[in-house]
Amino acid sequence: MKPKDTLYSFFYWFIIIINTIFFGTAAIVISFFDSSGMKAQNVAKLWARTILYLLNITVVADGLSNIDRKSSYLIVSNHQSYFDIFILLSYLNVDFKFVAKSSLFKIPFLGWSMKRLGYISVDRKNLKKTLSLFNQINLSNKASENVSDSERKNKKNAAVSILIFPEGTRSDDGRLKDFKTAGLKRFIEILNLPILPVVISGTFGILKKNSLRIYGGKTVRLKVLKPVLTETHGTRSTSDLIQNIEGNINKEFFS
């Protein structure tokens, strides 16, 4: 890596750390006075947008109109980089909790705020335990439409989605990895939510797996595909449904 790239990388990490401390602290404090969780979630979105702006990351987003803010989804996305979360928080106009490996929850400020915001630590040895945590979140297919605006602000009436990365980990080389179908199948069958496929490309060039080098000034492409209603997929098995979704994500990724 060139000396100039090293200097920029240190600068970018400094930006990320300072913003994480500031916004993480703000989210934690606000969460104690925000029963709906929406204000704290908005802080997380602002954190992500600020970092993308300061690192001069351009995002070309398509298909955002496919999202119904009143619905809960199982959001299924490919996973290129840690920067995927910044993109998704910034551009998906829906409240979601993402499933993340437990080690992230041990990071000061970041992990503390993730816990307060209700993000889910995955226990890879005990998926049933992880799924049981969803009982604490409203996962109705449709948020109540017969409530007042003040009631809608209450957490129990707010639609919340779940984000998972079915590849299980970030890409090693920028290419898509095969879906871990067993875990995804359990999520689909137990949660029984419409599936919202999301395709991200370009974040691998910002921060690669097992690397600390960050490259700013990149362009990222985000595309939200049409939701798939799991209860209307006919006689197809869940495995066939997963294969179809994986195929569509692959097709859009390489288009």
- Side chain identity at 73, as an amino acid letter? Y
Residue pair 179/246 in contact (Cβ under 8 Å)? The answer is yes
Q: Which residues contact 6 (CB under 8 A, 6 or more apart)?
A: none
| CA 177 – CA 198 distance, rounded (Å) | 15
List pLDDT tens digits, range 215-233: 999 999 999 999 998 875 5
pLDDT given at position 247: 94
User: Which pLDDT band, with edges at 50, 70 and 90, does 189 fall under?
Assistant: confident
pLDDT at 137: 57
Mean pLDDT, the chain, rounded, equals 85
Alpha-carbon gap, residue 131 to 8, rounded angstroms:
40
- The whole-number pLDDT of residue 148 equals 44
The predicted pLDDT at position 202 comes to 96
Count of CA atoms in the C-beta half-sphere (13 A) of 95: 24
Asked whether residue 34 carries a pLDDT value surpassing 70, the answer given is yes
pLDDT classification of 142: cutoffs 50, 70, 90? very low
Whether residue 134 is predicted with pLDDT greater than 90 in this model: the reply is: no
Size of the chain in residues = 255
- The answer, yes or no, to whether residue 150 has pLDDT greater than 70, is no
Predicted confidence at residue 152, as pLDDT, reads: 43
- Mean pLDDT, residues 25-53 taken together: 93
Predicted pLDDT of residue 159:
75
Q: At what angle do helices 110-117 and 38-54 cross, to 10 degrees?
A: 140
Q: 105-113: long-range contacts (C-beta < 8 A, 24 or more apart)?
A: 109/20, 109/21, 109/24, 109/25, 110/20, 110/24, 112/24, 112/28, 113/23, 113/24, 113/25, 113/27, 113/28, 113/31, 113/40, 113/44
pLDDT confidence of 236, banded at 50, 70, 90? low
Query: What pLDDT does residue 232 have?
Result: 59
User: Does residue 45 have a pLDDT over 90?
Assistant: yes
pLDDT higher at 137 or 79: 79
Task: Judge whether residue 138 has pLDDT over 80.
Answer: no
Half-sphere exposure for 182 (CA within 13 Å, toward CB): 5
Q: Measure the CA–CA gap between 181 and 244, rounded to whole angstroms.
A: 12
Please report the sign of the dihedral spanned by the C-alpha atoms of residue 158, residue 120, residue 60, residue 226.
negative
- Domain locations in the chain as residue ranges: 3-253
Instruction: Summarize the confidence of residues 14-18 as an average pLDDT.
Output: 97
Architecture of the domain whose range is 3-253: 3-Layer(aba) Sandwich (3.40)
Q: What is the pTM of this model?
A: 0.85
